[in-house]
Chains A and B, each alone.
Chain A
Amino acid sequence: MLSSQSLTKRYGAETVVDTLTLHVADGEIYGLLGPNGAGKSTTIQIFLGFVTPDSGSRMVAGIDVGSDPAKARGQIGYVPETVALYPWLTGRENLQFFARLAGHSLGRAASSALLARVGVATEAANRRVAEYSKGMRQKVGIAIALAKKARVLFLDEPSSGLDPEAANELSALLREVANDKVTVLMATHDLFRASEVCDRVGIMRHGRLMMETDVAALTPQALDALYLQHIRSDR
């Protein structure tokens, strides 16, 4: 699980994350919604320990990120918006390299099995990533997190630039990951995908969490209306 208490981050006069209090349970998929500049990515950066908040605290898998960011990162998988793989390595080589950094040595069979689990066939696994679609890269990115046996997975705009089929596959994959008790926090402004895959969503604006809601009871249209209501509330 992950949680934060009154997390605040300012850049000069601008407050980019404003007293954010969040709690995401084990196996839960939480969607952080909001327009560009709402503070979603900064929130993820704070949880990763790359940005230090001005006040407040945050925990990842029971570890205080502020006091031991390296230990906390040991429990984290991270898939940035542009999946950062080496284009001149194959999908398998990327997986093996990033897994090795986490202390896991994956042989050919183990890497094939993991890649197959996220939907990358053996033939594709042996091709250079330069030839991959964004959806394929997302899958390898998630495989890297799985290889690490991360307990918390952060995804930044995971469905951005994906075609509908790839986005559907990603949603299914995230559900499968969550079923293994992995906590997932994804920052997105794709309301349709959020309503499809998330258990709960929170809507951010100007760094503040405006509201949180369970998604199960909402149709995509209802979520859309809710989102617009909070984004436009004091324009």
Chain B
Amino acid sequence: MIGALLRHEMLALYRNRRLQLLGGIAVVLLLVSGIAGDRSVRAAATERARAVAQTRAEWLAQGPVNPHNAAHFGSFAFKPVGALAMLDGGVDPFVGTLIRLEAHAQNDVQYTAASQQSALVRLGALDPALVLLLLVPLVLIVVGHATIAGERESGRLQVMVVQGATRSALFWTKTAALWGLGLCFLVLVALQTLAVAAWTGGGVDSPALERVAALMGVYAGWLLAVSLTVTIVSALAQDARAALTGLLLLWIGAAIVAPRIAGRLAADRNPLPTRRAFQAAMRADREKGLNGHDPQDARVKALEAQVLVQYGVTNKKDLPINFDGISMQKDEEYGDAVWDRHFGALEQKLDAQRSNLHRVAILNPAMAVRALSMALAGTDVSHARHFQQQAETYRRDLIQRLNHEQAYGGSRTDDWDWKASTAFIAGIPDFVYVPPSLDEAVARVSTPLRALVAWTLLLTVIGAATGARLRLERA
């Protein structure tokens, strides 16, 4: 009987004209977003590979160069753009995937609250994740709102039960059919992602596969929750029209209203400084420290006195090392401390915003899925910060090496014409970003993950109760 019902539901969907139209539109959107994503990922990957090669070539082309000049020549850190970013662009379009690395110039990327909130904020950048998060549920609502209410209105539910179907079997087969429909879209996205990954990266590595699988798991859970909601509302509503109205209101609330309100509240409770204010505060603090470029700076003079004592000389010209390298490094370290303090405060606010948004996601599974999707695609704020922190660590190491070479590589104080060897310059490795493991990524979104699991379980329990007591007679 279950098999007969399931086959029948599949046939019903297959012959559903609304589904043919809406499903067709959704598939076209998926394909368009996939093709656009594929092109953009391929273009970005090519561009990135060229930029990495060019950056390295330019770095090496410096030849023998003064280390401090090399420090200001700088370099770039590139965040890899893979197929997962095609699946869910996340905040990457807001915060970028490229960081300039230069002495005294820490990156000051700002994160807007908007980048963390409504998926509709980035409707212009339609990607498959958005189609799965918002548009496929809309298809399920339009196609499935009458799945029980319509059958009841027509009197078919009673006939089916008289013929031997149980209430629960009717409920679960209808839910399964809707979920199956949603999974068809999901499989399409999975194949698309893997195809893009294969074309762009010459294959999919194991961590990326793990993430694709986890993402598919999240969306499978999400589509199950949506299918259950559609069937439950259809079962409880007075008629099909009431079911459609209720479901559309739920969709608008979960997809548009709640994320906007949550984003606004999160931003209001923990406001981030404007970029201008942030830079001004950093500059003000920076100026309180040592200026390695100004030999007359009082703090430079104090450092110089210390070093002279250390080496037992009275004039820096007599030092066996280059004092400029030491003062530059002290300058850098002070700048690092200022950066750490200001970014620490900023990150605390971002953490607080994220916690608030995740707490709201407990009430709204759509927001939970949004957070999980970006996290698993490696395009959420946490990943952007992770990339930025690694780039900053690399930058500090790079500048420290260059300053060390300036100080102890064989030059003397004020000898700005001294050049480090080509071998030294070539010995400095490129920046290679190592993304966090899947476990680390998931740990940062444990609240949304628990929320999605809890919602799915809760809806399953409500579905079981609704199915067992399915009302058969018309209102």
Residues 83-131 of A contacting B (Cβ, < 8 Å): 84-86, 88-89, 97-103
With contact pairs A88-B12, A101-B5 given, residues A77 and B162 touching in the complex (Cβ less than 8 Å): yes
Chain B residues with CB under 8 Å of A78's CB are: 158-159, 162
Cβ of A73 within 8 Å of any chain B Cβ, yes or no, is: yes
Cβ of A74 within 8 Å of any chain B Cβ, yes or no, is: yes
Q: How far is the CA of A103 from the CA of B164 in the complex (A)?
A: 8
Cβ of B247 within 8 Å of any chain A Cβ, yes or no, is: no
- Rounded to whole Å, the gap between the CB of B4 and the closest CB of chain A is 4
With contact pairs A73-B162, A101-B163 given, residues A86 and B12 touching in the complex (Cβ less than 8 Å): yes
Q: How far is the CA of A80 from the CA of B155 in the complex (A)?
A: 7
Q: Mark A140-164, 1 if CB is under 8 A from B, else 0.
A: 0000100010000000000000000
A70, A81, A84: which has the most chain B beta carbons within 10 Å? A84
Do A101 and B156 touch across chains, with their CB atoms under 8 A apart? no
- Rounded to whole Å, the gap between the CB of A223 and the closest CB of chain B is 29
Q: How far is the CA of A98 from the CA of B5 in the complex (A)?
A: 9
Cβ of B8 within 8 Å of any chain A Cβ, yes or no, is: yes
Cβ of A45 within 8 Å of any chain B Cβ, yes or no, is: yes
Do A74 and B164 touch across chains, with their CB atoms under 8 A apart? yes
Cβ of B306 within 8 Å of any chain A Cβ, yes or no, is: no
- Rounded to whole Å, the gap between the CB of A88 and the closest CB of chain B is 5
Q: How far is the CA of A105 from the CA of B43 in the complex (A)?
A: 57
Do A101 and B155 touch across chains, with their CB atoms under 8 A apart? no
The chain B residue with its CB closest to the CB of A85 is: B156
Q: Which of B4, B8, B15, B159 contacts A84 (CB 8 A)?
A: B159
Cβ of A192 within 8 Å of any chain B Cβ, yes or no, is: no
Chain A residues with CB under 8 Å of B277's CB are: none
With contact pairs A84-B154, A86-B156, A97-B4 given, residues A144 and B163 touching in the complex (Cβ less than 8 Å): yes
Cβ of B47 within 8 Å of any chain A Cβ, yes or no, is: no
Cβ of A48 within 8 Å of any chain B Cβ, yes or no, is: yes
Q: How far is the CA of A86 from the CA of B9 in the complex (A)?
A: 11
Chain A residues with CB under 8 Å of B165's CB are: 101
Do B159 and A80 touch across chains, with their CB atoms under 8 A apart? yes
Cβ of A133 within 8 Å of any chain B Cβ, yes or no, is: no
Q: Which of A45, A86, A101 contacts B164 (CB 8 A)?
A: A101
B5, B11, B161, B164: which has the most chain A beta carbons within 10 Å? B164
Q: How far is the CA of A77 from the CA of B473 in the complex (A)?
A: 17
Q: How far is the CA of A82 from the CA of B1 in the complex (A)?
A: 24
Cβ of B160 within 8 Å of any chain A Cβ, yes or no, is: yes
Cβ of B472 within 8 Å of any chain A Cβ, yes or no, is: yes
Residues 437-475 of B contacting A (Cβ, < 8 Å): 472-473
Cβ of A76 within 8 Å of any chain B Cβ, yes or no, is: yes
With contact pairs A84-B154, A88-B12 given, residues A50 and B163 touching in the complex (Cβ less than 8 Å): no
Residues 1-55 of B contacting A (Cβ, < 8 Å): 1, 4-5, 8, 11-12, 15
Chain B residues with CB under 8 Å of A50's CB are: 158, 161, 472-473
B8, B12, B160, B473: which has the most chain A beta carbons within 10 Å? B8
Do B155 and A82 touch across chains, with their CB atoms under 8 A apart? yes
Chain A residues with CB under 8 Å of B154's CB are: 82, 84
With contact pairs A84-B155, A88-B12 given, residues A101 and B160 touching in the complex (Cβ less than 8 Å): yes
With contact pairs A50-B473, A74-B164, A86-B12 given, residues A101 and B158 touching in the complex (Cβ less than 8 Å): no
Chain A residues with CB under 8 Å of B166's CB are: 70
Chain A: number of interface residues, binned into ranges = 20 to 34
A78, A89, A101: which has the most chain B beta carbons within 10 Å? A101
Chain A residues with CB under 8 Å of B4's CB are: 97, 100-101
Q: Which of A45, A76, A82 contacts B473 (CB 8 A)?
A: A45
- Rounded to whole Å, the gap between the CB of A73 and the closest CB of chain B is 5
- Rounded to whole Å, the gap between the CB of A139 and the closest CB of chain B is 15
Do B162 and A48 touch across chains, with their CB atoms under 8 A apart? yes
The chain B residue with its CB closest to the CB of A128 is: B15
Chain A residues with CB under 8 Å of B155's CB are: 80-82, 84
- Rounded to whole Å, the gap between the CB of A133 and the closest CB of chain B is 17
Chain B residues with CB under 8 Å of A70's CB are: 166
Q: How far is the CA of A85 from the CA of B163 in the complex (A)?
A: 13
- Rounded to whole Å, the gap between the CB of A142 and the closest CB of chain B is 12
With contact pairs A73-B164, A74-B164, A84-B154 given, residues A98 and B159 touching in the complex (Cβ less than 8 Å): yes
- Rounded to whole Å, the gap between the CB of B8 and the closest CB of chain A is 5
Chain A residues with CB under 8 Å of B161's CB are: 50, 73
- Rounded to whole Å, the gap between the CB of B432 and the closest CB of chain A is 58
Chain A residues with CB under 8 Å of B8's CB are: 97
Chain B residues with CB under 8 Å of A89's CB are: 11
B15, B162, B165: which has the most chain A beta carbons within 10 Å? B162
Q: Mark B131-171, 1 if CB is under 8 A from A, else 0.
A: 00000000000000000000000111011111111100000
Q: How far is the CA of A189 from the CA of B245 in the complex (A)?
A: 37
Chain B residues with CB under 8 Å of A102's CB are: 163-164
Chain A residues with CB under 8 Å of B158's CB are: 48, 50, 78, 80, 84
- Rounded to whole Å, the gap between the CB of B144 and the closest CB of chain A is 16
Q: How far is the CA of A78 from the CA of B159 in the complex (A)?
A: 7
Do B160 and A98 touch across chains, with their CB atoms under 8 A apart? yes
Do B15 and A88 touch across chains, with their CB atoms under 8 A apart? yes
Chain B residues with CB under 8 Å of A144's CB are: 159, 163
- Rounded to whole Å, the gap between the CB of A78 and the closest CB of chain B is 4
Chain B residues with CB under 8 Å of A81's CB are: 155
The chain A residue with its CB closest to the CB of B165 is: A101
Q: How far is the CA of A70 from the CA of B184 in the complex (A)?
A: 35
The chain A residue with its CB closest to the CB of B152 is: A84
Do A98 and B473 touch across chains, with their CB atoms under 8 A apart? no
- A82-B154, A99-B163, A101-B164 known; 9 new pairs, CB 8 Å cut-off, are A48-B158, A50-B472, A70-B166, A73-B161, A74-B164, A88-B12, A101-B5, A101-B165, A102-B164
Interface residues of A (CB under 8 A from B): 45, 48, 50-51, 70, 73-74, 76-78, 80-82, 84-86, 88-89, 97-103, 144, 148
A-B contact pairs, 17 of them (CB 8 A): A50-B158, A50-B161, A50-B473, A51-B473, A80-B159, A82-B154, A82-B155, A84-B155, A84-B159, A88-B12, A89-B11, A98-B159, A98-B160, A100-B1, A101-B4, A101-B160, A144-B159
4 nearest CB pairs, A to B? A84-B155, A101-B163, A100-B4, A84-B156
